[in-house]
């Protein structure tokens, strides 16, 4: 089955990037957010990203306009009913996701494939609230979605082989590389990334070095594009705390336990780039203050 129309639930940091990537591949995208203010924030992210791509000479102004025109925002989930594929990227809260899938299951035809962009929740729990557990999988994009070349396809114990092959072809159509993972917390990338990021916070807690020194060491010593504190600020400390809690619950592995500093920073509202302060400080454009 070829995917022509995509429905994206959520126009936040991930949903806006995913909607944009699908539109760039020539697909019609319906994207749902809860209100107009959230839709406006999604557009701001898409417009900023398209402007960067145009400025870098990788897309013409006309193609950027055509890409934008393929994205149709709505506040009603029912407007996603004509989609061949649903990609859910709403809050990482099981109840919120469950409600979205229950409603979509009522309005979409049985042929529509459902996917979640969750980075930590079990795919099978969401598949189980629908009447299509065989046509349900994880589709995990990385931030920033317009740049990152990988998409993890997560095969729950209910997901059919046919669904996985359709998703493989879809990810390739987006110009990205798919890898298939079992439905275990963190899949492949976050399973490796999260203990590393939490370990960096413990190194900081122990006073081994400053965030700047640790970031410089990792960037120059390992050639990572960002150091761990830059990446924590970039993806959001609240998101990382949530993922660590889910992982620790599942594995009871001390390397997955959230360090006290992370909990306290989140409690203080220091969430990283989006709140203006995390391990570093940021201006209103999200640029790091010198």
Active-site residue set: 119, 140, 152, 190
Task: Pick the binder of ligand CAA from 34, 91, 96, 147 (CB under 6 A).
Answer: 147
Q: Which is nearer to ligand CAA, 48 or 269 (CB)?
A: 48
DSSP state of 202: H
Question: Which residue in the shown chain puts its C-beta closest to ligand CAA?
Answer: 119
3-class DSSP assignment, residue 30: strand
Q: Identify residues 188-207 at the interface with ligand CAA (CB under 6 A).
A: 190
Nearest-approach distance from CB 243 to ligand CAA, in angstroms: 7
Q: Identify residues 9-28 at the interface with ligand CAA (CB under 6 A).
A: none
Task: Pick the binder of ligand CAA from 28, 217, 226, 261 (CB under 6 A).
Answer: 226
Contact assessment for residue 227 and residue 256, using Cβ atoms and an 8 Å cutoff: no
- φ, ψ for residue 79, nearest 5 deg: -70, -5
Q: Where are the beta strands (DSSP E) in the chain?
A: 5-9, 28-32, 71-74, 85-88, 113-116, 136-141, 150-155, 177-182
Task: Pick the binder of ligand CAA from 94, 144, 178, 276 (CB under 6 A).
Answer: 144
- Tokens for 192? 């490796």
**Percentage helix, strand, coil for the chain under 3-state DSSP, each rounded to 5:** 50, 15, 35
Task: Pick the binder of ligand CAA from 2, 35, 37, 56 (CB under 6 A).
Answer: 56
Nearest-approach distance from CB 237 to ligand CAA, in angstroms: 11
Of 86, 35, 83, 43, the C-alpha closest to 67 is 43
- 95-98's contacts with Cβ under 8 Å and 24+ in sequence apart are 97/121, 97/126, 98/125, 98/126, 98/129
- Integer Cα distance of 110 and 231 in angstroms: 39
Q: Which residues pair with 288 in a beta bridge?
A: 282
Run of H or E residues at 263: helix 260-267
Q: Which is nearer to ligand CAA, 24 or 163 (CB)?
A: 24
Task: Pick the binder of ligand CAA from 110, 207, 221, 225 (CB under 6 A).
Answer: 225
Contact assessment for residue 77 and residue 50, using Cβ atoms and an 8 Å cutoff: no
- Tokens for 260? 């006290």
- Tokens for 262? 């992370």
Angle 69-73-79 from CA coordinates, rounded to 5°: 115
Nearest-approach distance from CB 196 to ligand CAA, in angstroms: 11
Nearest-approach distance from CB 17 to ligand CAA, in angstroms: 7
Task: Pick the binder of ligand CAA from 49, 67, 112, 115 (CB under 6 A).
Answer: 49
Q: Which is nearer to ligand CAA, 84 or 215 (CB)?
A: 215
231 binds ligand CAA (CB under 6 A): yes
- Name the segment binding ligand CAA (CB under 6 A); options: 50-58, 75-83, 92-100, 277-285: 50-58
Task: Pick the binder of ligand CAA from 1, 41, 43, 52 (CB under 6 A).
Answer: 52
51 binds ligand CAA (CB under 6 A): no
Q: Which is nearer to ligand CAA, 7 or 186 (CB)?
A: 186
Query: Which chain residues interact with ligand CAA by CB under 6 A?
Result: 49, 52-53, 56, 58, 119, 142-144, 146-148, 190, 225-226, 231, 235, 239
């Amino acid at each position: 089955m070829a995917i022509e129309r995509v429905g994206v639930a959520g126009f936040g940091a991930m949903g806006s990037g995913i909607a944009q990537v699908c539109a760039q591949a020539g697909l019609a995208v319906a994207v749902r957010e809860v209100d107009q203010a959230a839709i406006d924030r999604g557009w701001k992210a898409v417009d900023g990203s398209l402007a960067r791509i145009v400025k870098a000479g990788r897309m013409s102004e006309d193609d950027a306009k055509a890409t934008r025109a393929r994205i149709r925002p709505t506040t009603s989930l029912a407007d996603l009913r004509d989609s061949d594929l649903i990609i859910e990227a709403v809050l990482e809260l099981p109840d919120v996701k469950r409600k979205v899938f229950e409603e979509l299951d009522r309005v979409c035809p049985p042929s529509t494939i459902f996917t979640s962009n969750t980075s930590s929740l079990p795919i099978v729990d969401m598949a189980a609230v629908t009447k299509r557990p065989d046509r349900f999988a994880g589709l995990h994009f990385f931030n920033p979605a317009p740049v990152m070349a990988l998409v993890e396809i997560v095969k729950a114990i209910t997901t059919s082989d046919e669904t996985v092959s359709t998703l493989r072809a879809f990810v390739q159509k987006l110009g990205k590389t798919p890898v298939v993972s079992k439905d275990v917390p963190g899949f492949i990338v976050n399973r490796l990334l999260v203990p590393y990021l939490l370990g960096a916070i413990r190194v900081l807690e122990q006073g081994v070095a400053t965030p700047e020194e640790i970031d410089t060491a990792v960037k120059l010593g390992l050639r990572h594009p960002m150091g761990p504190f830059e990446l924590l600020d970039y993806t959001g400390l609240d998101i990382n705390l949530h993922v660590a809690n889910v992982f620790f619950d599942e594995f009871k592995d001390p390397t997955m336990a959230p360090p006290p500093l992370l909990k306290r920073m989140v409690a203080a509202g220091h969430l990283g780039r989006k709140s203006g302060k995390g391990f570093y400080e940021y201006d209103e454009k999200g640029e790091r203050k010198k």
